Structure 1
Amino acid sequence: MKTVAAILDQIGHAGPFADSTPLRLADVDLDPPRAGELLVRIDAAGLCHSDLSVINGDRPRPMPMALGHEASATVVALGDSDDRMFAVGDRVVLAFLPACGECVACVSGAGYMCANGAAANGRGELLGGGFRLHDCGADVHHHLGVSAFAKHAVVDRRSAVKIDGDIPPEIAALFGCAVLTGVGAVLNSAALRPGESVAIYGLGGVGLAALLGAVAGGGHPISVIDPMPGKRALALELGAAAAFAPGEEGGIAPPDLVVETVGKAVVLERAYALARRGGRVVTVGLPNPAELFSIPAVSLVGDGKTIIGSYMGSSIPARDIPRYIGLWRAGRLPVERLLTSVSPLGDINALFDTLASGQAVRQVVIP
């Protein structure tokens, strides 16, 4: 079938993106779903710094690639006629790492570390191998198995989690990355205990979702650090006890848990220095691969701090997305407060300028 997708032909673009137009909307060919796959109509897709990192070259990926990895969608067709988990018309949230269920990580209960899913994502292929998108006969790589900046996508069924049909698409999309990663970093990776003190570096979609998770998990007090006054004000409304600009966090009593969401090695170093002796540092940011993280080696023993890398919030999407939606319904995760704007797909390049400027939390496009 024919559909429309936002294609990135080469990495390393500089802003303003409204002028350099790294993404082009193309009429592409989309193969039908194979066994174990779904054809979905994208209902809403969120812009994330992980997308921006591919555009600007911080996160190299094979080109050309159809970007977008945070989305809600509706099932249009099934690759298996006898699929008992999904049906045409089902609403789903798409997760950016399909777990194969067979590798060591998966059988150990850590599907977020799936080796086969990560390898497929690195190649820009679906978990079942190969490409389903083609532009003028040339293969187009998939972004994290989703490629959500498009009207339609073919995804592995293990990338989809069924949800109730009454959730607004623009809200549902946020559960696929920002919420899954940020809330999961606090509740899963860090295993926050009620009453523990928390500090969060960075107040983008993931950082503010981490704040929501810390509030829901009983963290106290919660401090946040971000250069944007508007984001600091929003954090205070969402439950932070104190908000600081970078460089002002010296007034924070060393917390039990520090969450770093910025994706810069220098910020991770600050997060490590801020944590109390015996404290935990969870990092979810994705720095440029050339960046190195440096700390005094003796401090690992002398201070007894723990550094935890958190990919996808150490989440199992089929378990955690429904759990987080339940907290949202109960009013304990006001995810809708993270939504900055809803725009048509044609505005995608200009929207990345807003994201890069730090002015947006989560922008969503409707294809």
Structure 2
Amino acid sequence: MRTRAAVLREYNQPWSVEEIELDPPKRGEVLVKMAASGLCHSDEHAYDGHIAGLVPPPMMIGGHEGSGVVQEVGEGVDWLEPGDHVIFGFIPACGRCPSCADGHSNLCDLLATFTVGTQALDGTYRHHTLDGDDLGLMCLLGTFSEHTVVNEASVIKIDKDWPLDKACLLGCGVVTGWGSAVYTGEVGPGDYVAVVGCGGIGSNAIQGAKMAGARVIAAIDPVEFKREKAMEFGATHTFASIEEAQAAIPEVTWERGYDQVIMTMGTGDGETLGQAFHLGGKRAKIVVTNLHGTAETSIEVPAIFMTMMEKQLRGSLFGSANIRKDIPQLFELYLQGQLNLDDLVTKTYTLDQINEGYEAMRAGENIRGVILYD
């Protein structure tokens, strides 16, 4: 069949919205008509080559935060049928590899196929340009396409009355941010929490910290709009820089420092991570959720703090969460009014407006832009 997709043909060149050829699903695969896709910063990293080697190079279809409706299922997929509503988890969960079996499905072995973007089971492609070139998929999904074929390991079935325009947010940003606080950071009642970077991931780290019972949540971001939104999501204090937040530690934390410092900037760098380390108090957990460039081979962390104050440096992929448990659970919290998804969506776009959406993200104008499909 033919459909339309946003293709990255060259690094740092506008997304090319064009017709593509899409093969039917094979064994273990699902054809989905997309309803919505979030414009996440991770696709910006793919766009500028910042994480080259971790995701497919050009030519590729972007997008990894999406929801839609099943159109067709391949052989062996007996738990889904046409008409089912689904969310994609940007980390697949096969349920059989050592990480999945050990309760860490966010580190599923299928991640190994991210680098080329082929179908997970047979290493071939379903998406092609009209002149026959194969197209890789961001996170095995390619949600910047009106239709896509994905492995069933990436699919979560949801109730048909759940709104698909909000459902897409749970494929990456919401769970990643929320889990960074609740799971990786282990925020508990009465904790002091600092969140560095208050876009789509950071806003949900704030929501997670609030839900976990933090007494202080400091939102740190240079963009005033994002600081204002952070207060709506549960922040108690805002600061324009790490230096400003550090100067206020005696007043805000009773001189103790923060129990969790959650790094959710658009792009991480070693120098800033080293600065953020100073925000943490004794036994603080410094959670690194934002991506650092693959070319960065060192970070500037004052190692003496790790011994003398038992500070901990923790990585967090997908918020250390489980797509099959946490995506439905968080959607239920939204439906019960305990989780705010509505205010995460700053503006919606058509697929043809994808470059406009990313310009707004670069300018700090969006918490999350969302593409809505017909």
Q: Say whether the fold is shared (TM-score over 0.5).
A: yes
CA contact (8 A) 2:25 2:72 kept: yes
- Mapped to 1, the partners of 2:222 and 2:119 lie a distance apart of 38
Q: Which residue of 2 aligns with 1:271?
A: 276
Q: Which residue of 1 aligns with 2:86?
A: 92
Confirm or deny that 1:257 pairs with 2:249: no
Identity, in percent, stands at: 35
- 2:308 pairs with 297, 302, 306, which one? 302
Tell me which amino acid in the other structure corresponds to 1:260: M
Tell me which amino acid in the other structure corresponds to 1:179: V
Which is worse superposed, 54-63 or 181-190? Answer: 54-63
- Mapped to 1, the partners of 2:133 and 2:9 lie a distance apart of 12
Confirm or deny that 1:106 pairs with 2:100: yes
Deviation, 1:152, is 0.2
Deviations 1:48-71 (A, max 9, x none): 110011111212132200000001
CA contact (8 A) 1:99 1:158 kept: yes
- Mapped to 2, the partners of 1:57 and 1:153 lie a distance apart of 23
- Mapped to 1, the partners of 2:78 and 2:98 lie a distance apart of 26
Q: Which residue of 2 aligns with 1:327?
A: 333
Deviation, 1:84, is 3.2
Deviations 1:68-122 (A, max 9, x none): 0001111000103x6332121111111112123332212211111112x111111
- 1:245 pairs with 215, 240, 261, which one? 240
- 1:31 pairs with 23, 32, 39, which one? 23
Confirm or deny that 1:220 pairs with 2:215: yes
Deviation, 1:319, is 0.6
Q: Matched residue of 1:276: which SS?
A: strand
Alignment TM-score, normalising by the size of structure 2 = 0.93
Q: Which residue of 2 aligns with 1:355?
A: 361
Q: Matched residue of 1:198: which SS?
A: strand
Number of residue pairs matched by the alignment: 357
Deviations 1:258-305 (A, max 9, x none): 100113223322221111111111111001122331122222111201
- 2:115 pairs with 110, 118, 122, which one? 122
- 2:159 pairs with 164, 168, 179, which one? 164
Tell me which amino acid in the other structure corresponds to 2:99: A
Deviations 1:332-360 (A, max 9, x none): 11111111111111001121111111111
Tell me which amino acid in the other structure corresponds to 1:338: L
- Mapped to 2, the partners of 1:329 and 1:366 lie a distance apart of 20
Structure 1 runs (4+) deviating above 6 angstroms are none
Deviation, 1:244, is 0.5
Deviation, 1:224, is 0.6
Q: Matched residue of 2:141: which SS?
A: coil
Alignment TM-score, normalising by the size of structure 1 = 0.94
* Coordinate RMSD, CA, aligned: 1.3
CA contact (8 A) 1:98 1:127 kept: no
Deviation, 1:322, is 0.7
- Mapped to 2, the partners of 1:272 and 1:23 lie a distance apart of 37
Deviations 1:291-337 (A, max 9, x none): 33112222211120111100011111011001111111121111111
Q: Which residue of 2 aligns with 1:280?
A: 285
- Mapped to 2, the partners of 1:108 and 1:289 lie a distance apart of 27
- Mapped to 1, the partners of 2:159 and 2:260 lie a distance apart of 34
Deviation, 1:145, is 0.9
- Mapped to 2, the partners of 1:195 and 1:184 lie a distance apart of 18
- Structure 2: stretches of 5+ with no match in the other structure: none
Tell me which amino acid in the other structure corresponds to 2:113: A
Q: Which residue of 2 aligns with 1:16?
A: none
Q: Matched residue of 1:277: which SS?
A: strand
Deviation, 1:40, is 0.1
CA contact (8 A) 2:77 2:152 kept: no
- Mapped to 1, the partners of 2:181 and 2:25 lie a distance apart of 36
Q: Matched residue of 2:143: which SS?
A: coil
